[in-house]
Amino acid sequence: MAIDICIRMGRKIRLLRESRGWTQQQLADMTGIGRVHVSELENGKREAGLRMLERLANTFEVSPSELLKEL
């Protein structure tokens, strides 16, 4: 069974965040969302809409397509 896309996206967000040495709180502050929201995204419990994907991509300094690549 394939892993749910929200879980795969969450893993990618966590990987990008950790590779930069950021805490969930730091990512939350940079994106303007709450830390709990970041946690829910990383754990696949919340879906990221288009605006959130763009916000995350800008924060990580990657394109939205790069963020979605290989999901």
Q: How far apart are CA 42 and CA 47, in angstroms?
A: 10
Q: Where are the domains of the chain?
A: 5-68
pTM of the predicted protein model: 0.92
Q: How far apart are CA 64 and CA 50, in angstroms?
A: 9
Fold of the domain built from segment(s) 5-68? 434 Repressor (Amino-terminal Domain) (1.10.260)
- Per-residue pLDDT of 38-49, as tens digits, reads 999 999 999 999
Residue 31 CB coordination number (10 Å): 17
pLDDT at 9: 97
Q: Which two tokens stand for residue 64?
A: 């939205």
Beta strands in 7-68 (DSSP E): none
Confidence grade of residue 3 (pLDDT, cut at 50, 70, 90):
confident
Sign of CA dihedral 12, 71, 53, 66: positive
pLDDT at 60: 98
Q: Are 57 and 63 in contact (CB under 8 A)?
A: yes
